[in-house]
Amino acid sequence: MSKYDFVKNSNLVIQAKLLRETNMYPFFRPISSPQSDTAIIEGQEVLMFGSNNYLGLNNHPKIKEAATAAINKYGTSCTGSRFMNGTLDLHHELEDELKDFLGKEAVIIFPTGFQVNTGVLPAMAGKGDHIFIDELNHASIIDGCRMSLAQRIKYKHNDIFDLGRKLNRGKNSAGVKLIITDGIFSMDGDIAKLDRIVMEASKHDAFTFVDCAHAIGVLGNHGAGTASHYGITEQVDLIGGTFSKSMASVGGFVAGNKDVIDYLSHASRSYMFSASLPPASTASVLASLRLIKSDDSFRQKLWENTHYALRLMREHNLDIGLAETPIIPIYIRDSILTFRVARKLLNRGIYVNPVVAPGVKENDALLRFSLTAAHSKDQIEHAIETISQVVKSYVPQENLCH
Ligand code: PMP
């Protein structure tokens, strides 16, 4: 027995090997161009329906100019964490503008969106406390809960009765109660019922935390996210999110009441002990934010494209569940078939992300089709027609139940 046997015998490695042998392995494909309406993947130009570049800002000249200027002024790294030598005046400028954009008193920015959840959750809740999570919340939320040592209580997806029942069960416990949800669900593409979550929270004196990773730039006033979409920014305690999607950069943030954010800046380990957001990334976010605030045309185009795609997909009888945003899941409900269909689509010049467990539940394997403001109607039409043909040729009718 070698010490590496557990790695070689791992199911993950065996499955990856099988997929490689059958030419269906879909992960880590190198891209050699900007990701916009198209991209060059392994030398092939494809229609790109698999990015999170919702507003199409990824290759915007003003943002690239801002990033270049920041490198020229500050260099390429901050060489330390925010807590120590890693705070730039540029970070403060961004935090200041972001808090106004989100309508909150204070904001801190993190190196990644993932680190927001793994930093904030353990700081807000610990042993003896309860965190209530939607069963479809993102992996970073689950990890944040695990790291917190609080009891994690899952409620059924977007089911506020179930959340209420679970909150009621713990009504006599003394600890902190915190409810966290994705603002737009990252794979299923539906919007959290945050207005009703906030009502339940107030009955039980629970904190509310919405992760707007996919909602920033997409929902709400100028794209201020899910709380703004419902007009309940005041009632939501914490708004988190990332810069890696609509904002064409990398990094994350959490916004809230001044005291809570001050506390988090001294208690979130992923904020305190990780190198801060590099100058170019920070400047890119600032430039994106300014564009988003001053020009609604990107968001309008994104929603036009979204409504068009949703209508076409439903006309083609594709199973897209409760999709209502630029993230459209096309359910295939079988992992191998999902890989196969994604490969066939790539052969025909269309990139979509195949998503299987643990990204989604075992029987919910899907193609994640995502739109950007950069797509044209013709591109959307062509992609959906091709997807419909390929899905119907390879996926048995019973999988496509609605
Ligand atoms: N939260 C949600 C809901 C996400 O979907 C993601 C990434 N897909 C993250 C957090 C992590 O963000 P990042 O990739 O910026 O670290």
Within-domain flag for 7? no
- 402 pLDDT band, cuts 50/70/90, is low
The residue among 323, 301, 322 whose CA lies nearest residue 246 is 301
Residues 290 and 160 in one domain: yes
Helical residues (DSSP H) of 249-352, grouped into ranges: 258-267, 269-272, 279-294, 297-315, 335-347
- Examine the domain organization and report whether 308 and 285 are in the same domain: no
Residue 389 lies in a domain: yes
Does residue 56 lie in a domain region? no
- Output the furthest CA–CA distance in the chain (Å, rounded): 63
Cα-based distances in Å from 10 to 13, 27, 143, 148, 383: 5, 18, 22, 28, 36
Statement: residue 277 has pLDDT above 90: yes
Domain CATH number, residue 102: 3.40.640.10
CA distances 169 to 172, 199, 207, Å, are 8, 17, 17
- Is the model more confident about 324 or about 4? 324
Q: What is the predicted pLDDT for the residue at 400?
A: 66
CATH code for the domain in which residue 345 is found: 3.90.1150.10
Establish if 394 belongs to a structural domain: yes
For this structure, is 186 an active site residue? yes
pTM of this structure: 0.96
320 CA → ligand 1 middle, Å: 22
One domain, residues 194 and 315: no
- The pLDDT of residue 362 is 85
- Residues 242, 275, single domain; the answer is yes
Place of tokens 């939320």: 141
245 as an active site residue: the answer is yes
Say which of 36, 186, 268, 276 is annotated catalytic.
186
- Domain end marker among 249, 265, 294: 294
pLDDT score recorded for residue 160: 98
The whole-chain average pLDDT of the chain stands at: 96
Query: How much distance in Å is there from the Cα of 188 to the middle of ligand 1?
Result: 14
Residue 214, pLDDT > 70, answer yes
- The verdict on 29 and 77 lying in the same domain is no
Structure-token pair, residue 381: 């039409």
- Of these residues, 91, 130, 229, 245, which one is catalytic? 245
Q: How far apart are alpha carbons 35 and 298 in whole angstroms?
A: 16
In a domain, 79, yes or no: yes
Q: Which two tokens stand for residue 183?
A: 């603002």
Query: What share of the chain in percent tops pLDDT 90?
Result: 91
Q: What percent of the chain has pLDDT over 70?
A: 99
Residues 135 and 242 in one domain: yes
Give pLDDT, residue 114. 98
Instruction: Find the residues whose C-beta lies inside 6 A of ligand 1.
Output: 112-114, 138, 140, 182, 186, 211, 213-214, 242, 244, 252
Within 13 A of 368's CA, how many CA atoms are on the CB side? 19
Residue 33: predicted pLDDT: 97
CA of 233 to the centre of ligand 1 (A): 21
Look at the chain and report how many structural domains it folds into.
2
In a domain, 29, yes or no: yes
Torsion of CA 64, 69, 72, 77, to 10 degrees: -60
Q: How confident is the model at residue 3 (pLDDT cuts 50, 70, 90)?
A: confident
Does a structural domain hold residue 55? no
Whether residue 234 is found in the same domain as residue 327: no
In terms of Cβ atoms closer than 10 Å to its own Cβ (0-12, 13-18, 19+), residue 262 is middle
**Is pLDDT above 90 for 177?**
yes
Statement to judge: residues 240 and 278 lie in one domain: yes
Residue whose CB lies within 8 A of the most ligand 1 atoms, among 117, 138, 180, for a mutation test = 138
- pLDDT tens digits along 342-401: 999 999 999 999 999 988 988 999 999 999 999 999 999 999 999 999 999 988 777 765
CA distance 239 to 161: 23
Question: Contact, 207 vs 177, CB < 8 A?
Answer: yes
| Residue 2 maps to a domain | no
> Which regions of 59-135 does DSSP assign to beta strands (E)?
106-110, 130-134
Averaged pLDDT for residues 33-38: 96
**pLDDT of 401:** 58
Query: Does one domain contain both 223 and 274?
Result: yes
CB crowding 266-281: b at 16 or more within 10 Å, else e = eebebbbebebbbbbb
Domain range for residue 348? 21-50+296-399
pLDDT of residue 171: 77
The total of other beta-carbon atoms located within 10 Å of residue 173's CB is 12
Q: Are both 258 and 175 inside the same structural domain?
A: yes
More confidently predicted of 169 and 201: 201
Write the single-letter amino acid at 79.
Answer: T
End-to-end Cα spacing for the chain: 49
Domain boundary among 240, 274, 294: 294
130, β-bridge pairs: 151, 177
Q: Are residues 271 and 309 both part of a single domain?
A: no
- Structure tokens that stand for 101 in this block: 């954009």
Instruction: Mark whether 119 and 246 lie in a shared domain.
Output: yes
Which domain-ending residue is among 247, 268, 294?
A: 294
Alpha helices in 103-193 (DSSP H): 113-124, 139-148, 160-169
Q: From ligand 1's centre to the CA of 182, what distance in Å? A: 10
pLDDT reported for residue 4:
87
Burial 49-62 (b: 16+ CB within 10 A, else e): bbbbbbbbbbebee
Between the CA of residue 63 and those of 58, 216, 236, 376, what are the distances in Å?
8, 17, 30, 22
Token readout for 12 is: 């993950």
39-65 pLDDT per residue, tens:
999 999 999 999 999 999 999 999 999
Distances (CA, A) of 393 to 54, 230, 285, 317: 30, 41, 43, 14
- Name the band, by pLDDT with cuts 50, 70 and 90, for residue 153: very high
Least confident of 11-15, 92-96, 196-200: 11-15
Q: At what angle do helices 279-294 and 89-102 cross, to 10 degrees?
A: 30
Q: What is the mean pLDDT of residues 290-295?
A: 97
Which pairing describes strands 350-351 and 327-331: parallel, antiparallel, or unpaired? unpaired
Q: Is 64 helix (H, G, I), strand (E, B) or coil?
A: helix
Average pLDDT rounded to a whole number, residues 119-145:
97
